[in-house]
Structure 1
């Protein structure tokens, strides 16, 4: 596409923008001054696409500045639960999940010593049902620990959303240019390559936006549950219990020291036997030789 044709297209876009103020594009093309028009003459394809991208970026800033922003927060909770009967917990939890419009993302159950069971459950529930679901789960057993994490991704969500809109507008401008089909084949191929790159970027950003939307719409609750039939919740230590614990720890340390001494003695016996087998003949020979020297 020759330089004159590119200048004509730029002029037509400028005139069209002035005639449609509601589209917001007239402000973009009006920002292209005489110096930028000269750039079109030297590098027509690159200059036009660069100007469109800059104009779309300016529009994106206006989009971000207008209107209230909905807060986007990722909620993640890890809950350690102790129950007296794992089968009862395993039967009640799915119903509790259904009552709060959630679903079980992952579940794993293990069998331990004395036939006691444990398991890990990953639950996804809507954010607006999150507090009620946690209260229901904690009613199924004793919560040993609870860790909640809230990550605010509002800024990233709005930024990705705005970038998608800007890239889609740029994509439409390129499609409009390709529909004319009146330029050089090299220029058309260059625009098609740029169009493919923009579309790939749009798909990537849309994928990221879907991930953010999913994680901010559904909270993630990881439940680590174990069965302990004779479980007693820990109580605050008293003076008497502290003395008892200190006495027990001292006895345990004394017993451990005695056991280690016995183990050390037993382990030294083979070395003593080997040493005796080697040293006794040597000592006997040395004493006999010394006696012979004295007699001689």
Structure 2
């Protein structure tokens, strides 16, 4: 038998058969590229979010107990169906979570100074009223000066200090004492400086505590101890300097200073001098002379009596010695005289 010959394919069919594996490989490659791109994009986005959240946490740490933002808190607290207004939400107080302490109100450190010039009718009466007002408000007098020349207006200048809480009431009580010529009030807010000093002292003390802990736990030799103490010395100096400034601000803010000047309305007329004394009469001079002589006689008698009192204790010793001396002298005189 003669074997049958295989059928001969046309050229177009042969070309289509050889190109089919190529399309399959190409399609699978495209699908793999798409799947890989999607996976790469997803992983890149996740890594970017993680890095962004890490940077944000490094810049501003978050806490589970931190209060919610005002907008979010207002949205959560708003009733259903209500329209959210961001301006109203910004003015609303931020709710504080339970168990978290509220921030202490800032005690502002404001130094008040005032200059008040008054024209008064009676300077002496106004001076007395100022002293009464100063005592009633717990103030103190720093300095005072009064001037009054004949034919000019008397003036008095006072530098007063009153507690800051009573400054306005004290000024309101001073103004009715006369007619104001000058009324000036200045203020100096030292709150920011005071808060900065507080923060600085806190950080310096923390650094000092760290060095002290290092000194007690890590120092192994005298050289290491001296080195740590040298580092602590400038820190302690800065702490003392900052605390001194802090106390100065507290003292300045505790009292307000008022410079008060009073000027009398009328010209000053000094009081008339006393008339010269009248000359004494003859009788007055006789009485004065007799009185002086009598006083002298009494004084001399007193001195004689005192001398007698002083000599009396010595008489028991002096009198026998005197008699013995007289007897001896007479005996010698009798022996020396020749017989007649």
Matched, 1:135 2:172: yes
2:201 equivalent to 1:164 = yes
Long gaps (5+) in structure 1: 1-26, 28-65, 232-296
* 1:92-103 → structure 2 map (5 Å cutoff): 92-103=129-140
1:223 aligns with 2:295: no
Aligned to 2:216: 179
Structure 2: give runs of 5+ residues left out of the alignment: 1-57, 59-102, 269-340
Residues 2-36 of structure 1, C-alpha deviations (whole Å, 9 max, x = no match):
xxxxxxxxxxxxxxxxxxxxxxxxx9xxxxxxxxx
Larger Rg: 2
Higher RCO, 1 vs 2 (CA within 8 Å, ≥6 residues apart): 1
Deviation string 1:114-172 (CA, Å, 9 cap, x unpaired) is: 26421221111112211110111112111101111112211111111111122122222
Counterparts of 2:231 and 2:146, CA distance in 1: 52
SS in 2 for 1:229: strand
1:284 match: none
1:228: Cα distance to partner? 2.3
Which of 248, 270, 274 is the equivalent residue of 1:211?
Answer: 248
1:268-287 aligned at under 5 Å gives the runs: none
Cα distance, 1:182 vs structure 2: 3.2
Match status 1:201 vs 2:201:
no
> When the two structures are aligned, how many residues end up with a matched partner?
167
State the SS of the aligned residue for 1:112.
Answer: coil
Distance between the aligned counterparts of 1:203 and 1:147, measured in 2? 36
Matched, 1:108 2:145: yes
Q: CA deviation at 1:181?
A: 6.7
Could you tell me whether the CA contact under 8 Å between 1:84 and 1:230 is conserved in 2? Answer: no
- The 2-side partners of 1:86 and 1:99 are apart by 20
TM-score, structure 1 normalization: 0.52
For residues 173-203 of structure 1, give each alpha carbon's deviation from its aligned partner in whole angstroms, at most 9, with x where no partner exists.
2222222373343332222122121111111
1:31-180 paired onto structure 2 within 5 Å: 67-114=104-151, 116-180=153-217
The structure with the largest helix share of the pair is 1
Spell out, residue by residue over 1:81-133, the C-alpha distance to the aligned partner (whole angstroms, 9 max, x if none): 11122111221211101111111122222223426421221111112211110
Distance 1:124 1:70 in 2: 20
Cα distance between partner residues in 2 of 1:110 and 1:148: 25
Contact 1:181–1:188 (CA<8 Å) still a contact in 2? no
Native 8 Å contact 1:112 1:118 kept in 2: no
Mapped to 1, the partners of 2:192 and 2:256 lie a distance apart of 19
For 2:307, the equivalent position in structure 1 comes to none
TM-score scaled by length of structure 2: 0.46
